Amino acid sequence: MNGEMPARPAREEPSLSVVIPTYGREEVLLATLDRVEALAPAPGEIVVVDQTERHEAAVERELAARDAAARIRWLRRPRPSITGAMNAGLLAARGEYVLYLDDDVVPKADLVAAHLAAHHANHLDARVEIVAGQVFQPGEAPEPLVGREFRFRSSVAQEVVELMGGNFSVRRAAALAAGGFDERFVAVAYRYEREFCDRIRRRGGRIWFEPAASIHHLQAARGGTRAWGSHLRSLHPGHAVGEYYYHLRRWRHAASWRGILRRFGMSVKTRHHLRRPWWIPVTFFAEGLGFLWALSLALRGPRLLPSPVEGQR
């Protein structure tokens, strides 16, 4: 030893896992995986949580080949559940951060870098737990939207109170400590993102919207939530149950009862119903079923992940 202090090792970048829940998607899923693999820097791993009962033969072979080559980790689930798939990905992920993406997206080339940079920029404030990314739906363009006018196509970085499930990253330890995603959100699971954010925020966490972390959502015609059909022309309560469950979980707040009444009334205030009024009783019936389904779920209480044991997160 010459008495010199050894050089300090360079600070390692936090690892990031990409989790892609998928249901009923074929070639569009493979195209999304191609784009995610091409990101720079590459994610530490890509976890595909697959709820499709049976893929087309060529797609099945390709997913199996990618899994065998360790290009993805391919997890199969027997029944579709958005929140169940999110939790399965959270438990399987190895990264410090988990980036959730839809299975029909075109990510910006530096998506991973932008998410990590946003987390790093806020590293002095340990309460920033989630980075919500920019999402463009077909035909949308960026706009400087803030405050009450905020939409996820906004070009302005800002603190927000919720996220879009198709493009956000979360510190894995914080998500586990909060119990993950509530699996009582079933079917289309509308409002599961807001409920998750509510729990993160109650624990002192914050959510930061970062427009540099951007994707284009393709809204593929088949699979995903579209497997439940159109909410405008369906008797199925799957589109309504999530929002009613969200409000019923907060039944002590007057705003929740206002939200229930507003949902019920606004369900038929559409151009579709104006032009086809015979659909109004059908929609009211579906909303009523959705409310009763949500009530039965709320009476059972949330279904969250068990609290992690210290040292085993």
Are residues 200 and 287 both part of a single domain?
Answer: no
Segments in the chain below pLDDT 50 = 1-13, 310-313
User: Do β-strands 45-50 and 16-22 pair in parallel, antiparallel, or remain unpaired?
Assistant: parallel
Listed residues 217, 249, 284: the one ending a domain: 217
In a domain, 1, yes or no: no
pLDDT for 1 equals 37
Q: Which residues contact 218 (CB under 8 A, 6 or more apart)?
A: 28, 104, 105, 106, 138
Specify if 242 maps to a domain.
yes
- My answer on whether 194 and 245 are in the same domain is no
Single pTM value for the model: 0.91
Name the token pair of 2. 């010459």
- Nearest-angstrom CA–CA distance, 158 and 209: 5
User: Omega into 41 within 30° of 0, i.e. cis?
Assistant: yes
Q: Residue 88 corresponds to which amino acid?
A: A
In whole angstroms, give the CA distance from residue 175 to residue 87: 9
One domain, residues 27 and 129: yes
101 and 194 housed in the same domain:
yes
Helices 192-202 and 241-248, interaxial angle, to 10°?
30
212 with 139, same domain: the answer is yes
**CATH number of the domain residue 131 falls in:** 3.90.550.10
Buried b / exposed e along 32-49 (16+ C-beta atoms within 10 A): bbebbeebeeebbbbbbb
Structural domain includes residue 224 = no
> Are residue 43 and residue 124 in the same domain, yes or no?
yes
* Domain extent at residue 293: 229-300
Q: Which amino acid is at 126?
A: A
Asked if the structure places residue 153 within a domain, the reply is yes
Assigned domain for 102 exists: yes
Same domain, 237 and 127: no
Query: Is 133 found in the same domain as 76?
Result: yes
Q: Give the CA distances from residue 172 to residues 20, 136, 197, 213, in Å, rounded to whole numbers and listed in that order.
A: 15, 25, 14, 18
Residues 139 and 92 in one domain: yes
What pLDDT does residue 226 have? 65
Residue 196 and residue 247 share a domain: no
Q: Which of 217, 240, 260 is at the close of a domain?
A: 217
Domain identity same for 141 and 210: yes
- 206-231: pLDDT as tens digits: 999 999 999 999 988 787 776 666 77
Is residue 207 situated within a structural domain? yes
Q: What HEC string does the chain produce?
A: CCCCCCCCCCCCCCCEEEEEEECCCCHHHHHHHHHHHCCCCCCCEEEEEECCCCCCHHHHHHHHHHHHCCCCEEEECCCCCHHHHHHHHHHHCCCCEEEEECCCEEECCCHHHHHHHHHHHCCCCCCEEEEEEEEECCCCCCECCCHHHCCCCECCCEEECCCCCCEEEEEHHHHHHCCCCCCCCCCCCCCHHHHHHHHHHHCCCEEEEEEEEEEEECCCCCCHHHHHCCCCCCCCHHHCHHHHHHHHCCCCCHHHHHHHHHHHHHCCCCHHHHHCHHHHHHHHHHHHHHHHHHHHHHHHCCCCCCCCCCCCC
Return phi, psi of residue 195, to 5°.
Answer: -65, -40
Return d(Cα 124, Cα 68) in angstroms, integer.
40
Q: How far apart are CA 103 and CA 129, in angstroms?
A: 23
In a domain, 268, yes or no: yes
Is residue 265 in some structural domain?
yes
pLDDT at 311: 43
Q: How far apart are CA 214 and CA 134, in angstroms?
A: 5
Domain co-membership, 166 together with 203: yes
Looking at 217, 246, 279, which one is the last position of a domain? Answer: 217
Split into its structural domains, the chain has a count of: 2
